[in-house]
Amino acid sequence: MAIIYHEKSQTFHLFNAEISYVFTILQNHQLGQLYFGKRIHDREDFAYLLELKARPMSACAFEGDRNFSLEHIKQEYPSYGTGDMRYPAFTILQENGSRISDFVYSGHTIKNGKPALDWLPATYAEECVLISTCNRTEVYTYVEQENEAETLEVYLQDSVSGTKLILRYTIFKDFPVITRNVRFEQNVDTKVCLERAMSLSLDLPDMNYEMIELTGAWSRERYVETRKLAHGIQAVYSMRGCSSANYNPFIALKRPETTENSGEVIGFSLIYSGNFLAQAEVDTYNITRVTIGIHPENFSWQLEKGDSFETPEAVMVYSKDGLNGMSHIFHRLYQSRLARGKWRDLERPILINNWEATYFDFNESKILEIAECAKQLGIELFVLDDGWFGKRNDDTSSLGDWYVNLEKLPNGVSGLEKQIEKLGMKFGLWIEPEMINKESKLYKEHADWVLNTPNRNMSHGRNQFVLDFSREDVVDGIYDQLENVFQDAPISYVKWDMNRSMTEVYSQAASPEEQGTIMHKYILGVYRLYEKLIARFPDILFESCASGGSRFDPGMLYYAPQCWTSDDTDAVERLKIQYGTSMVYPLSSMGAHVSAVPNHQLLRNTSLAMRGNVAYFGAFGYELDITKLKEEEKEVIKEQVAFMKQYRKLLQYGTFYRLSSPFEGNVTAWMVVDKEQKTALVGYYRILQRVNDAYHRIKLQGLNKDYCYYVTVLEEDIYGDELMNIGLVVSDASSGENHEKYDGTNGDFQSRIYKLTAVCDE
């Protein structure tokens, strides 16, 4: 790993064992992009990559020189208006009304490690250090590791506006990753206004890519869509105030020949939970410009002397090993260098949540009845969902009133928690701290705490309104209520929900000039509340939720190491949702539950086996009234819980491979392999029964070619190279003559888990 500055050619080269990133100082003292991709040799001068050439009708920077036009130069952090006609990375409005700027190189520093960002989530560098040994027990702590990463800061200055621009790049030793963000500083008395501030811009030399995005809506989040790049703009975005179920803050560019397991792909991910824009612009010379950052719509940020603004962190991943290779990098980075705290590396508890069992209709005795049954089945954590506070009996009241409903829980949350603890289980609680109902004590006292434009209608969503988390007093007021609840009862787990998008965004406490800051400050307020609660209650496992997966993004993983993947708990639909989510996010981050049938979202009937076999691949739990199950169904749950406990570490922290896509056919398959390649689990899911079907095999991945594995279901010893090159035989045993039941493995919505255990190695 190294960051080298070649002073003679004024070229920067960031590289490790797998990647190189090269850019240079141009003759106009701005920065030009030269290369990002597979590791190349270092050299003094890469100037041949600039490809300066005269183009007709171009605006050129130097009189008498028709070769140097910013319209045709690949740049690091481009502006608009001085020759480049493409979308810029930033726009600064100055006091005289001009948006023209000229940021030129003024210096740089190279430092070990990775600095934190101001009030923003970001990846970090760290190492595990042994601090003591007591009674043969080793005690470790995590400390910042300067040798794990290097950071380059490049300083640019605009002499007219007096604004300083700091471009920050970090390269890790063990990840083919570059992280980037930008800081704007105003150093003179002149005021400026940021109208656009992307975290990353990257100009690529051709357009021979297909763009992958994760798109959808509530209950069908993060579907995988692929489109070939074309001239013009192709983009995903959110202007909902959250990252959204509609589009995830991620895109990838892959070569047309790239598959899950081979070929080149570049992934772009934004560590942010609010409005974002991720776009690929292809100009008519086939140059591809990728930008990602805060969405410029409804964004403006005034800077006076001494003020600064820092953009969220963007992550660029390069893989030469296909989409699975890209995902493995994101998984390792986000699981180990983004998620933090006690629960980062721990196996997640098997839980039961009462929401789909009771909805709002529960009391203490009903909750204890479910908990007692859950304990008998081996479940470890009970989570009390919506309805425990204020006068909450439906979704029309009490959000904002975070005190216990004594009519439902006469002994309070603490009394219920003590009884759950006596059963030998941990206790968790649902909250939605960012929202308020008009029918609440808080609204009567603080109607001005709601985001609402004066003299305009207030739109509601789910009968609720959005608190103004751009205000510190609002955040502190909600914190005080939650602190009282959490310290009254030893809460082990918190499900943090957020059930609507923002509308009529206006803060009663901000000036007219500050209204363009509110949506970003809101997200900073959410992060601030998380920080305060985590600092006060470091042992709590937080799970983020946003009407399912509407805020499943890297920013949330910094505070909550797992997220409720979707409100859609149907096993068949979850195949698509979890498959798409795995493009970026590790299995340990995906909340996945077994729910009731008919499914409450689709009314589909699937077996307990099918539901369990899908939900195993994530943070596993149940969400149904288990007291109403038949005894044989409870026995199945006991077996599922025992299986999950046995393989939980593998399922949540192993290396995950996508094998067959639910978006491309009738069969979905995936697998997870342990670090030693000694144990693997393969999930195979067939949606519809085929009549007199053909023969089928699935080629496995990630095994040791020289190990011989015992494969359950087939009950055969098979070498790893056979399973990867010939494939796992998954042919349907039925010939279509289903007049007799065949061991429960025929019919629609079928699944199998193949366990592979190394029995010998050579």
- Alpha-carbon distance values, 124 to 115, 309, 324, 332, 590 (Å): 8, 20, 23, 13, 22
Count CA atoms within 13 Å of residue 529 on its CB side.
Answer: 30
Determine the Cα angle at 580 with ends 578 and 584, to 5°: 100
What does R_g of the chain's alpha carbons equal in angstroms? Answer: 27
Alpha carbons 753 and 680: distance in angstroms, whole number: 10
Asked if residue 336 lies in contact with residue 312, where contact means CB atoms within 8 angstroms, the answer is no
Q: How many residues appear in the chain? A: 762
User: Could you say which of 567, 568, 570, 732 is catalytic?
Assistant: 567
Q: Whole-angstrom Cα distance, residue 224 to residue 229? A: 16
SS3 685: strand
* 3-class SS of residue 16: coil
Return the number of other C-beta atoms located less than 10 Å from residue 210's C-beta: 16
Q: Which of 434, 383, 423 is nearest to 591 (CA)?
A: 383
Output the CA angle 743-747-751, nearest 5 degrees. Answer: 70
Q: Is 497 a catalytic residue?
A: yes
Could you write out the DSSP letters of every residue in 49-109? GG-----TT---SBTTBSS--GGGS-BSS--SSSS--SPPSEEEEETTS------EEEEEE
CA 326, chain centre distance (Å): 14
CA distance 551 to 545: 7
In whole angstroms, what is the distance from residue 629 CA to residue 596 CA? 10
Q: Does the CA dihedral 697-698-699-704 come out positive or negative?
A: negative
Contacts of 573 (CB under 8 A, 6+ apart): 219, 220, 566, 601, 602
| C-alpha distance from residue 599 to each of 594, 603, 612, 623 (Å) | 10, 4, 14, 11
Residue 525 is encoded by which pair of tokens? Answer: 């307020």
Reduce the DSSP state of residue 584 to 3 states and report it. coil
Q: What are phi and psi of 387, to 5 degrees?
A: 115, 0
Q: Which of 84, 321, 497, 732 is catalytic?
A: 497
d(CA 59, CA 36): 27
Helix, strand, coil % (nearest 5) of the chain?
20, 35, 45
Instruction: Measure the CA–CA gap between 46 and 310, rounded to whole angstroms.
Output: 31
Beta-sheet strands, E only, within 373-487:
381-384, 426-431, 435-436, 465-466
Three-state secondary structure readout of 591-624: EEEEECCCCCCCCCCCCHHHHHHHHCCCEEEEEC
Tokens of 368: 């204890």
Q: How far is CA 310 from the centre of its chain?
A: 20
Cα–Cα distance for residue pair 271/181, rounded to 1 Å: 10
Tokens of 107: 């210096």
| Residue appearing with tokens 């809101």 | 522
Query: What CA dihedral angle connects 673, 583, 198 and 254, to 10 degrees?
Result: 100
CA contacts within 13 A on the Cβ side of 374: 30
Catalytically active residues are 497, 567
